[in-house]
Amino acid sequence: LVALAAWVIVASGTNIAEAQQRRPGAQRKRVPVAPLQRNMRLAAQLDTPAVPAQTVRPVGNQPVILELTKSRFSYPSASQIDPSVPAVFDLLCYNGALVGPTIRVQRGQAFRIRVINNLHGPADPGPDPRDFQPFNGQPFPPWEVPEGFCSTNLHTHGLHVSPSGNSDNVYLHIDPGTSFDFSFQLPPNHVAGTFWFHPHKHGSTAYQLSNGVMGALIVEGVPGDSIPDLDDIPEIAAAREQILVFSYHTYSFYNDSTGTPIGFIDPNSIYNVNPDGFLPTCGMIGPPPGVSPMPGSAVVAVNGQLIPRFDAVPGEVQRWRLVYGGWDVHQYFSWFQEDGITPAPEVAMYEIALDGLPTGTLNPVSPVQIAPGQRDDVLIKMPPLPAGVARKTYYLMRQDWDQAVGAVGSEPPQYQYVVVAKLAVQGRPNNMALPSAAALAQCRPFPPIGDDELVRATTSIVNRDGTGSLVFTQEDPQNPPSLVGVQYTINSLPFLHQNPIRLTLGTAQQWKISAVTEPGNDPVFGGHPFHIHVNPFQVVSYTDPNGKTTRMNEFRDTLFIPGNASYTIRSRFQDLTGLSVLHCHILDHEDQGMMIPIKLVRPGDANRGGIDPATLLAEADYPAPDLVLPDVHGTRVDLREFRGRNVALVFFQGVRCAFCIKDLRSMVREARARVGQAVEIVAVSARKVDDLPRALALLGVTETDRFHLLVDEDFASFRDFGCGSGTEARHGLFLVDGNGRVRSRYIGETPYGDSEEVFDRIQLIAGLAQPGGRAAEPHTPPALPAPPAALAGGGSDD
Ligand SMILES: [Cu+2]
């Protein structure tokens, strides 16, 4: 917080017009906020009681249902007060509600969520071939074109659960008309706190969150267990809880045949990079063909409501769980009087948890600063009413980049602040106490990560001293090439061209995370919220754009890195394995490539090629089943033709899966780099290849690559190799030696995702291969590995 105050000062004195001129990117995406939320006269007229989301407590195997649908919502009173707000919005949502249900679970609980994709748009077409075409003298562009707006999946943001299989696996695709059952196992020592869930389908995340598709996920402690929780503290247990899920919507609108304006979310107002424009919301929502949408405004909703009113009595203490589910825009929330100008410090806020993790302190805070993806638990001590006053109303207002570049209070406020919620204080006073410092201090969940814990090993980004660095780069070319505006990369590469960062269990690492933007750019505009899945981290220091370093000690899962500044963080990797991601939580940045895979591995995996029977790419030794399949030209290919050579046999979902494409391209690239290894890559697609030129462009293979593209539409070979049934095809990777024996095997819900390790393993297998081979034995199909059943416990996927 000290750190954030610093860049507010840096930005002060800049006027909006100047700032906009300097930043073409900001102009492109900047959407003015609806007058309703920034004009006190209009805001005063709206008096809507807050309606909390529906609460769901999953029991046993009964899944929580999240049905993704399109629904029509009306805002009649809002549109009467502010004609710029359409009376009707068509939005994607869960279960037909303005905000998804609040899911409440207990630490240690196993629970299921069924995501039903009931949209009627097209299936995800897969990555855009332009993502792989040479650009500006480089082999590929520093951006990705968003895609697949009607396909979805699910991320449980902040939960410490397996990223694999049917757990918190963001590599999954749920196309329209299909559903998927997720299964989560919370460990018995999981922190009790405020988390949330939302779609995380690469290429459509920002679009779906701009629709408001999200919900709160509250983990509770087990009464009487030995872990001290905030909820166990009597003063907090007594406090009334309010859950505020904030969503940020940039809407467009069109007039229907009756002249009624219909609001909807237009991907063209979110993403910068497609010069041809996107079809309005995948052809499903939006104006009829031939009718152009009109630009609307932006609104910040609370549980889907515009400026809801929360109620309290004087002296009461309430616990507000703030979830900022906006896909963009760093927010500052603070309290004002009804004039919208005079601060109301008497409405006192005390921060007790960041990102659901108790801070151990009662930290008076104003404004609350919250970046996309973050949560903040605050206790609010309601003020007494002045003598003779029966009811007092306060405004919760936000200051953000769109509306303010000045420091709080430094400029005429009427256009800096917008109203997001109201608080009405009235009734008989109830003077409640705040918790004691000693009780709060007990709730801090993790000990600090000491120097002695840091790993001394070489992995993808970590140096021998246990440190590494990640650079989030935003480049905003002065003369943007025609195809692209602002470019978002991590360590100079977009997601589809990244190799995973390998993280070994049992280690802790220290990373420096910087956000690089052009010098002189505003630190807020050039900043990026860093989020890593599955494991939280400790923030140990902040270095501001002037190079001044401040030591810190707080645990989080999402951290806003101001432009040209950096944070140093440490994280422990203890008990979950699999492929996951870290990324920028400004989600249009993520959809355009500001993401990198991480791979949590057991120690045996870290020594490149070390054979550990418990690794994800498991050691095996059995004759490969017969495989005879047509290639894309219809020629039948027999796996036995490759005897004498090493084969990487990949079963994949087809060219519609961005992650499969990423994996195969990475294997082809790695194969070229390993001269002399002469490995044949045999890729078996579960789907027919409709558009061969497009498929080849996506795969990036040339005549000289030892690459064979086969098709197995009825999954017969998928079944023979144990990675599919009659109805579903999973992902598989089989390393077959020159004698036709399977020597390593991976089967899972995601592509293997680590081509360097694959080729290290092949090298090892080649070195170990017995000349002449063994006598023929009958083909025994391998036993299916246990399905990734998070409910069975453990949370890892071997
Ligand atoms: Cu970003």
304-358: pLDDT as tens digits: 999 999 999 999 999 999 999 999 888 889 999 988 888 999 999 999 999 999 9
Q: Which tokens is 607 given?
A: 């020594």
Phi, psi of 724 (to 5 degrees): 180, 160
At 409 the pLDDT is 35
Please tell me the distance between residue 562's alpha carbon and the centre of ligand 1 in angstroms. Answer: 10
Please tell me the distance between residue 48's alpha carbon and the centre of ligand 1 in angstroms. Answer: 34
Q: Which residues contact 585 (CB under 8 A, 6 or more apart)?
A: 371, 372, 373, 528, 529, 530, 531, 558
Please tell me the distance between residue 70's alpha carbon and the centre of ligand 1 in angstroms. Answer: 28
Residues facing residue 393 across a β-bridge:
424
Please tell me the distance between residue 538's alpha carbon and the centre of ligand 1 in angstroms. Answer: 20
At 716 the pLDDT is 94
- End-to-end Cα, the chain, rounded Å: 41
What residues of the chain score a pLDDT lower than 70? Answer: 1-30, 275-276, 279-284, 400-416, 456-468, 475-485, 519-525, 604-615, 768-798
Please tell me the distance between residue 528's alpha carbon and the centre of ligand 1 in angstroms. Answer: 4
At 749 the pLDDT is 82
Our CA dihedral for 636, 638, 643, 647, rounded to 10 degrees, sits at 90
Please tell me the distance between residue 473's alpha carbon and the centre of ligand 1 in angstroms. Answer: 8
Alpha-carbon distance of 506 to 606, in angstroms, equals 11
331 in Cβ contact with 449 (< 8 Å) = no
Sign of CA dihedral 246, 251, 255, 261: positive
| Cα Rg, the chain, nearest whole Å | 27
CB atoms under 10 Å from CB of 203, counted, come to 26
On the 0-12 / 13-18 / 19+ scale of CB atoms within 10 A, 636 is exposed
Please tell me the distance between residue 328's alpha carbon and the centre of ligand 1 in angstroms. Answer: 9
Please tell me the distance between residue 588's alpha carbon and the centre of ligand 1 in angstroms. Answer: 8
One-character DSSP codes across 54-65: PEE---TT-PEE
Render pLDDT for 269-285 as a digit per residue (tens, 0 to 9). 888 777 667 765 565 68
Nearest CA to 96 out of 286, 291, 304, 345 is that of 304
661 in Cβ contact with 147 (< 8 Å) = no
Cα–Cα distance list, 366 to 5, 341, 354 (Å): 11, 15, 14
Please tell me the distance between residue 246's alpha carbon and the centre of ligand 1 in angstroms. Answer: 19
Alpha-carbon distance of 552 to 363, in angstroms, equals 14
At 327 the pLDDT is 93
232 in Cβ contact with 358 (< 8 Å) = no
Residues facing residue 724 across a β-bridge:
729
Cα–Cα distance list, 647 to 242, 644, 715, 741, 742 (Å): 57, 9, 20, 10, 9
In 374-486, the DSSP E strands lie at 375-381, 391-400, 417-426, 467-475
Alpha-carbon distance of 313 to 651, in angstroms, equals 62
Please tell me the distance between residue 747's alpha carbon and the centre of ligand 1 in angstroms. Answer: 33
Please tell me the distance between residue 563's alpha carbon and the centre of ligand 1 in angstroms. Answer: 10
Nearest CA to 715 out of 744, 686, 691 is that of 686
Please tell me the distance between residue 530's alpha carbon and the centre of ligand 1 in angstroms. Answer: 8
Please tell me the distance between residue 586's alpha carbon and the centre of ligand 1 in angstroms. Answer: 5
Please tell me the distance between residue 662's alpha carbon and the centre of ligand 1 in angstroms. Answer: 21
At 110 the pLDDT is 97
pTM tops 0.85: yes
